[in-house]
Amino acid sequence: MQELHDFFAKDLRSLPMPELRKDPIVGRWVIIATERAKRPVAPKPEPQSGDGGFCPFCEGQEDKTPHEIIAYRDRNTRPNEKGWRVRVVPNKFPALQVEGDLHKRGDGIYDKMNGIGAHEVIIECPQHEVTLANLSEENIREVLWVYRDRLVDLKKDPRLVYGMLFKNVGAAAGATLEHTHSQLIVTPIVPISVWEEMTGALEFFNYRGRCIYCDMIQQELGAEKRVVLDTPNFISFAPYASRFPFETWILPKNHNSHFENIQKTEVDELGTVLKTILLKL
């Protein structure tokens, strides 16, 4: 435990700059961040537990994380103190660093740039809960709204072009803390898998003059074979070419390209959809 404590007390500014290196064969960008190897590793096979163990994400432990970027708080409470409902902090062991220039450069056949970007942690609730599905719909809505708030803010940074929200749950997935949380990584490059998806959608559009996602929604609603949930603004279904068991997509029925354009009423509905899907899973 003491080891964990020391790492959380470490000064972020002393970390060496991570690097983005491009694989010259497949064109994939890889983050080289040696400092991340030092992040806390639980002595047990499962992540840090709340039963008596130390959890830096629980309410009352605000001084154990870097200073908050944003938090939804009860009235008359102060930043980095109790009274928050959802809280966003920089990752203590960032894969990318927010300060500095990209400094794109070549080294023979290799391309690289400084590992500039944002790496944030969204602490989804103040109490020690390990499952997002157990949170109230209102709580889940605030988590979704803070995703939107952070994407809108980071979009203003001209160095950054892509944002990815993700959750690792359980030791096998690489989670080092069990308190329910998500992460946001915003990068100066578009990941190759996303590039392939965008190119595929563009090719479909160039050929048929229609949006592949809108077409897919129409077909799935008609076939009713793979639909998991159908609500006024969202559809959830198992994709035709699923890569793993229980793969489930949630798509907005209205044609829209950016999550951060979502409206408040849609977030309210999406909170219900997400909780329902997670409970079904």
- Residues of this chain that interact with Zn ion (CB under 5 A) are 50, 55, 57-58, 128, 179, 211, 213-214, 255
Rounded Cα–Cα distance for residues 252 and 192 (Å)? 24
Choose between 22 and 179: whose C-beta lies nearer to Zn ion.
179
Choose between 50 and 66: whose C-beta lies nearer to Zn ion.
50
Rounded Cα–Cα distance for residues 103 and 109 (Å)? 17
Nearest CA among 281, 254, 277, 259 for reference residue 137: 277
Task: Give min distance, CB of 86 to Zn ion, in A.
Answer: 14
Task: Give min distance, CB of 66 to Zn ion, in A.
Answer: 16
Choose between 195 and 213: whose C-beta lies nearer to Zn ion.
213
Task: Give min distance, CB of 177 to Zn ion, in A.
Answer: 8
Choose between 58 and 229: whose C-beta lies nearer to Zn ion.
58
Choose between 51 and 74: whose C-beta lies nearer to Zn ion.
51
Contact 248, 114 (CB under 8 A): no
Residue 21: other Cβ atoms inside 10 A: 16
Nearest CA among 89, 201, 103, 85 for reference residue 140: 85
Rounded Cα–Cα distance for residues 267 and 32 (Å)? 35
Strand, coil or helix: 242: coil
Tell me how far CA of residue 52 lies from CA of 2, 16, 85, 124, 165, in angstroms: 14, 34, 22, 20, 30
Q: Cite the active site residues.
A: 181
